[in-house]
Structure 1
Amino acid sequence: MSIFQNLSEAFSREAKKYTTLFLPKHRVDIDCDDTPICAGDAYCRIWLEDMNLAKDVDWFKQRYPVVHAAVRFHYDSKLVTIPYLAAPGQLKDLGSNNLDKVIQDRYPLTPLFPFNQGLVEFHAYLLSIAANDSIDKFIKTVGRFAKLLPAPQLSSVLNLAEPVYRGIEDLLDIGERRLELGYQQTFSDADGGSSNFLREGYFAVILAEEHEISRENLCVVNDNLRFGSPGTTKVFVRDSKPFKGYSYMLFRIEKRKQQDWESLKTIKELVAKAQDAILSGEYEKVKQFHLPAIEIAILQSPDITKADRRNMRLKIGEELKELGLQSTKAQKRSLYSIMQRPLPPIDATTEAELASLEKFFR
C-alpha cells in the first residue's frame, strides 16, 4: 500500500477530529472572485499560506513537523501528481518558543497550471516524525527537490515529480510518523454539479471538532487565519486577533486569467526568431517556417489553457504582421507585451483555419 493510500485511510478514520471550511469572500480582507472556474478558462495555483502548531506535542525535541501535500490534476491529457514537502529547514521561523505562528512566508504547493479538464484532487497532511539526525538530513534533501516542482513552466520539471514523490514515500516509510492533521478534497469545474467546485479563495483545516469552533468568527487578514467579529462587513479587519490554541493549516487557491508568458521558453524563443527574421526582411521564411512552428508549439503546449491557445496564435500573428509594416529599427516586443494586446478581428477564412488546426491536434 502506498503512503498516499495509507495517509488517506488514516485521515478517513480520524476525519471527525477535524473542522474544514472554505471561507466565504466576505470573511477575507481582500476581494476575490469566488465564481466557479470553468475548464479551459483559467490558470490555478495552490498555496500553503498559514500554519499553527498547538503546544500539545514536544516539537523539535522529540518530533519534527512535516507538511506533505499532493495535488492531482490533468496536464497534457494525463493525470499527474505534484508532491510537496515542507520541513523544519523550510519552515524557517518555526521553533519551540514561537509555535503560535510557524509560517511567515507563503509556500506554493503547485506551479501555475492550466485547468483544462477533469478534477483537481488535493491532499495535505501535517505529520510528526520522531527526531534523529538521519531523518533530519533526509527531510532537508527531499524538501529541496520538492521546492523545484512549483516552477513557472511545469513541463520543464515534470520528470522530477515521480522521483520526488518516491523520495517522500521512502522518508515517511523509514520514519516513525504520526498524522497530526489532515485535509482531503476533490474540486470539480463549474459544470461538475458539486458544491466543491474549483474557485479562488481560502480554505482551512483545524484540529478541532465542529462544536469547538465558532465558524462565523473565523476570518483571513494578511493571509493569516484569525478570529474576529462575525457578520458580512469588514469590521473583522480592525478587531481580529490571532487564532490560537489549535493546530491548523490555511490554504489558498489562486486564479489567474493569464499564464506567466515569459516562462514559456520554447514559444518565446520561436517568436524572437520570427521577429528577427522579419526585421531582416525574410518575410517568406517567416510565413513558411516560423509561423507554422509557433502555431504547432502553442497547440502542443500543456502549459496553456484551451482558450489561450487560439488567443495566443492570433495575437502573435498580428504582432508579426505589424512588425513587418514598420521600419527595420522597430523594437521587438516581449511575449508578455504581445499577450497584453487586444484580440484582432477574425475573418471567416482565419476562423476556419484555426478550427481545422485545433481539430487536427485534438
Structure 2
Amino acid sequence: MSDFDLGGILRSLFARDGTSLGHVWIPDGHVIDANNQPVQFPTSYAVEDAYVMISLAEMFLKHTRVLWREFYPVVHSFITYGNAQAPQAVGTVAGPGQLKDLGTANLDKVIPLAFPLAGPIVYDGQNIEALLGLYAVPAKDGAAILINTLSQLSSIVPQLAAATQVAGVLKTGTEQMLGIDGTQLKLGLHNSFFPVTGGEGFIARPGFALAVSKPSNKVDSKRMWVVNGRLRIGDNPISAQAPDDFDYMLIQFYAGPPRVNIWGTIPSLADHTPAFENALKADAATRRTAVNLAFSVFESELAKSRDLTKSDKSAVRALVAQDLKDRVLALETGSLFELKSFGSEDVVREDPALFRPHKIELTGETRPEREPGLPLWS
C-alpha cells in the first residue's frame, strides 16, 4: 500500500487551516532596564492627567532575502483615539528610509529601534485603537519611495497647521510603497487598549505589547522579556536571547513628560501673544482691565485645549498670570522686566510690554497651581 495521499495533497491546494497568531502583553517584572533592574509601571494612565506616548520599540523580519531580492522591514501604523463620535487618528510609516544620505543599499542591516508612532496624547479614558502592519518591502524599489515620502514630510511637518497636507503625503507614499511588486504583509495587529473598566484585553497603561508570527499556543509570555528596550526569550533575563525564528513587532506605551515649559509652541495658545502685548501697551488707565480681559480669553482657550493635561493647564495658568502681573507692575513703576536667561542663572532685563511665551517656564521642582476663572486683580 502506497503512502502517497493524493486526496490530502489536493485538499491542501484548495484549503488551509487558519492560525491564531500570538500577541501578548509583556508581564510585569519582565521589563529590565540597563542596570538589570525590573522596571515598575503604573497599572493605568491617569485620566486627563497623563500623556500617552506610543513607539515601535523593535521590529524584525525572519527573512530579509528571498532568492535575488532583498527586503527590509517597514511598519505602517494608525493610532486612533479620543471620542468615538469624533475620533482622531495618527498615521506613521516606520522604517530605515530616513537614512537617505547613505543610499538605498543594505537597508536590511539597519537596526530599527524606538520609532515614535503617536503622542503626546492626553489620555481621556477612551479606548486607544492600534492598527499596525509589518511589511517586507523590496529594498531597492521601496527605499526610493519611502525616502521621497519622508523628505516631503520633513519639509511640511514644522508647519503645524498642515495636518491635511501631512495626511495626503502619507497616503500617497504608502499606496505607492504597498503597490510595489513583491511587498508582503508579514504580520498585522489590530487591537484596542481599554481603560481599566473598559473591557477584556490589553489595558491602556505603560508597558510593552508584542505581536509575533507564531501560533498563539506557542507563545509563552513567561519566557518573554524586554531587556534595555529589546525583546529577549528565555527562562530569565540574563540568559535570554534575541529571537530570530519569527517576525515580530514590539510596541511600547509610556507616559510623556510634562509640557509646561513648551506650552508656547501650541498654536492655539501661542497665538495669544499679540493680544497680550496689545493689552500691555494700553494706556495706564485701562491697562489692567485690558490685560485681565486678554488673560480671560487665553484662559478660556487653555481650558479647551486637548494638548495639555489638567495639572499642566493649572501650572500654565499660574505662570502666565504671574508673568502678566509682574509685567504690569514693571510698567506702572517704570522699570524693566527681569527674568532669568534660559538655561542659566543670569538675569535678563527687557521691555515689560514684550510678552515672550517661550521664556515663561518652570524653574525648579515646585509646580504652581491656579484655579480657573480668577481675575488677575481683585
After TM superposition, the score normalised by the length of structure 1 is 0.72
Q: Give 1:138's match in structure 2, choosing from 141, 145, 167.
A: 145
**SS in structure 1 at match of 2:198:** coil
Residue aligning to 2:183: 177
Deviations 1:84-125 (A, max 9, x none): 1124423789999896x7525421012312223532110111
Residue aligning to 2:298: 294
Deviations 1:14-50 (A, max 9, x none): 661x321111231112434332224322111211111
Indicate whether 1:107 and 2:110 are aligned.
no
How large is the Cα RMSD of the aligned pairs? 4.1
Deviations 1:266-300 (A, max 9, x none): 52463597489659996426524431342233134
Between 1:40-49 and 1:78-87, the stretch displaced more is 78-87
- How far the C-alpha of 1:62 sits from its partner, in A, is 4.7
Partner Cα distance (2:365, 2:273) in 1: 15
Residues 1:324 and 1:36: Cα distance change in structure 2 (over 3 Å)? same
- How far the C-alpha of 1:188 sits from its partner, in A, is 2.3
Partner Cα distance (1:285, 1:76) in 2: 41
Residue aligning to 1:21: 24
Residue aligning to 2:58: 50
Deviations 1:57-84 (A, max 9, x none): 5298254532211111128983222111
Deviations 1:167-221 (A, max 9, x none): 1235324544322112221112334244422111111112212343442122112
Contact 2:30 2:226 in 1 (8 A): yes
Corresponding pairs, count? 327
Partner Cα distance (1:63, 1:56) in 2: 5
Partner Cα distance (1:200, 1:152) in 2: 28
Give structure 2 stretches of 5+ with no counterpart: 1-16, 34-38, 340-355
Residue aligning to 2:256: 256
Contact 2:30 2:225 in 1 (8 A): yes
Residues 1:272 and 1:340: Cα distance change in structure 2 (over 3 Å)? farther
Residues 1:266 and 1:321: Cα distance change in structure 2 (over 3 Å)? same
Q: Give 1:162's match in structure 2, choosing from 167, 173, 181.
A: 167
Partner Cα distance (1:194, 1:322) in 2: 52
- How far the C-alpha of 1:223 sits from its partner, in A, is 0.9
> How does 1:207-286 map onto structure 2 within 5 Å?
207-230=213-236, 236=237, 238-256=238-256, 258-259=258-259, 260-268=262-270, 270=272, 274=276, 283-284=287-288, 286=290
Amino acid at match of 1:123: L
**SS in structure 1 at match of 2:255:** strand
Residues 1:345 and 1:119: Cα distance change in structure 2 (over 3 Å)? closer
Give structure 1 stretches of 5+ with no counterpart: 1-12, 231-235, 352-362
**SS in structure 2 at match of 1:219:** strand
Contact 1:75 1:302 in 2 (8 A): no
- How far the C-alpha of 1:308 sits from its partner, in A, is 4.0
Partner Cα distance (2:103, 2:43) in 1: 35
**SS in structure 2 at match of 1:139:** helix
Amino acid at match of 1:246: F
Larger RCO, structures 1/2 (Cα 8 Å, 6+ apart): 1
Residues 1:132 and 1:165: Cα distance change in structure 2 (over 3 Å)? same
- How far the C-alpha of 1:248 sits from its partner, in A, is 1.3
Residues 1:60 and 1:49: Cα distance change in structure 2 (over 3 Å)? farther
Residues 1:76 and 1:321: Cα distance change in structure 2 (over 3 Å)? farther
Partner Cα distance (2:363, 2:296) in 1: 18
Contact 1:66 1:128 in 2 (8 A): yes
Amino acid at match of 2:224: L
Partner Cα distance (2:371, 2:310) in 1: 18
> How does 1:75-90 map onto structure 2 within 5 Å?
78-90=86-98
> How does 1:309-324 map onto structure 2 within 5 Å?
309-324=313-328
Amino acid at match of 2:265: S
Contact 1:111 1:152 in 2 (8 A): no
**SS in structure 2 at match of 1:267:** helix
**SS in structure 2 at match of 1:251:** strand
Partner Cα distance (1:266, 1:179) in 2: 39
More helix, by proportion: 1
Amino acid at match of 2:123: F
Residue aligning to 2:308: 304
**SS in structure 2 at match of 1:205:** strand
Contact 1:48 1:251 in 2 (8 A): yes
Amino acid at match of 1:160: Q
Contact 1:116 1:305 in 2 (8 A): no
Partner Cα distance (2:323, 2:240) in 1: 50
**SS in structure 1 at match of 2:82:** strand
Amino acid at match of 1:26: G
- How far the C-alpha of 1:341 sits from its partner, in A, is 4.7
Deviations 1:215-240 (A, max 9, x none): 2122112211113444xxxxx2x444
Partner Cα distance (1:303, 1:59) in 2: 49
Residues 1:74 and 1:346: Cα distance change in structure 2 (over 3 Å)? closer
Pair member with larger Rg = 2
